[in-house]
Amino acid sequence: MEPLSWTGAIGAYLNPLLLISLACLVFAMILQFVMSLFAAPLTLQSNADGTLMKRGGLTSGIESVGQWAFLAIIAGVVLYIVLGAIMPYGEAGIIGAMSKRLLPVWIALILTFTLSIHFKRKLGLYGKLFDSTVGMIGFGLVMFWVFVAIFAGGFDMLITHDPLTQISGLKNKVPGVAIPDGEALKWPHYLLGGDNLARDIFSRMIKGSVIVIAIAPLATVFAFMVGITLGLPAGYYGGKLDTVLSFLANLILAFPVILLFYLLVTPEIVATGIPSFMAAFLFIFPIVFFGVLLNSRYYTQPSKRNPMLIVVLGVLGWLYLSLISQDGTILNFMPKSLDGFDINPGILVVFVSVVFVNSPTVFRIVRGLALDLHTRDYVAAAQTRGEGSWYIMLWEILPNARGPLIVDFCLRIGYTTILLGTLGFFGLGLPPESPDWGSTINEGRKLLLIVAHPALPPAIALLSLVLGLNLLADGLREESLKD
């Protein structure tokens, strides 16, 4: 079996076009920069109908060259992906083989964008996101990794080999290396090469996305539950409650984040059971939040409120008990017949640590918004109607604070992703064989000067996800300001 090149047969045609387009783009950018140093100040002129007049001359021509070169690069990348997905395995090289393996992700992305753009006027703030180019790019990057995690974790697809299996002779081998005696295999190559233990880097990168996508958004949701539940009454009531809660939040924030993570995930601290008790305390906030949310909304309709509370609190209570009762921890108390699931103790410790570190920051944001919004006229109108305090906080103040909170939620998932990568990089919390991106980067960087390919794929994956979250937050902020 021959090794794969990066682009295969299609590279002979597309590579020169891509290189020419890239050279034109770089040349246009450099020329624009040089001309901007000597050009006269730009004055915008309007046409008779009020539209801006198009600039002419050399500057306009250079801008056009840059725009067309950029579009040509995008078209080339799309062609690589499309041709790789439809051509037989191996003819489109490594890029084509990866594109073929990720075909379910491409289909899911196309369907998501098509339906979202078609119904965007009916989808509120989410629909308005598709009026922002930056927001759409960020959304595409984020959803790419979300779909990768869904298909790889939920449907056991996308990976080409077991991420923990070692194949003799493939240690630190370059991308596209053929597997010995692999002719009978459906995927007879390591698409992105082998790592220092002869494991498939492509499969480990794909499987690592499951860990990141599973922990980062869910941990951020829990942190927001804690921050909202404590931040709303602190900002609404003020006084001693605000003073005490703000002091505790500032006390936690006074610790350096990485040092706090070190303290929480070290084996000595884990052995004391502190993370388990923290989980028991922090994970009860979603129950409190949804219980108060439903009770305040349907307080005057007990016939509707009571069944809803019984069902919601019953399900959340069972999930809560299953979550905190884990094998190998102090709080392992639920019978096996009732325990819904078990989580790896290392992942649970990391999850608790992320929630604990992020909650004070969310608390301060929510408290500040509540301080600002509780003096608004619609709050006074609700008070005049005789609405309860929790109704006003959850159904009047919180919906009007959704714009900043949604933006911060996206940014905080990015921060959490970086924190997870940092923990994995230092070998804390997660199991040593874990394919999470941080651990994979740490293993690859030890030989970075000799072989760079083991560390680069997970690093690029981490970068693209965080970049997508930041662009998505920018798009959401841009559209929310238009409301």
Tens of pLDDT along 422-461?
A: 777 777 667 777 888 888 888 888 777 788 888 899 999 9
Interaxial angle between packed helices 456-480 and 201-237, expressed in degrees from 0 to 180 and rounded to the nearest 10: 30
SS3 69: helix
> How does the average pLDDT of the chain come out, rounded?
85
Q: What's the CA gap between 193 and 170, in Å, rounded?
A: 8
Q: What is the value of pTM for the model shown?
A: 0.86
| Both tokens assigned to 361 | 């920051």
17 in Cβ contact with 72 (< 8 Å): yes
| Residues 349, 279: Cα–Cα separation, whole Å | 8
Render pLDDT for 465-477 as a digit per residue (tens, 0 to 9).
Answer: 999 999 998 888 8
Torsion of CA 412, 418, 420, 424, to 10 degrees: 180
Q: Is the pLDDT of residue 88 over 80?
A: yes
Rounded to an integer, the average pLDDT of 409-414 is 88
Instruction: Give pLDDT, residue 279.
Output: 85
**Whole-angstrom distance between the N-terminal and C-terminal Cα of the chain?**
59
Q: Specify the range with the lowest mean pLDDT, choosing from 103-112, 132-141, 447-456, 462-471.
A: 447-456
Q: What's the rounded Cα separation, in Å, for the pair 416 and 220?
A: 7
Nearest one of 413, 380, 273 to 405, comparing CA atoms: 413
Q: Given this model, what pLDDT does residue 49 score?
A: 57
Picking from 133, 62, 165, 230, the residue whose alpha carbon sits closest to that of residue 478 is 133
Query: 290: pLDDT confidence band, cut at 50, 70 and 90?
Result: very high
- Beta bridge pairs of residue 52: 46
Q: How far apart are CA 128 and CA 136, in angstroms?
A: 10
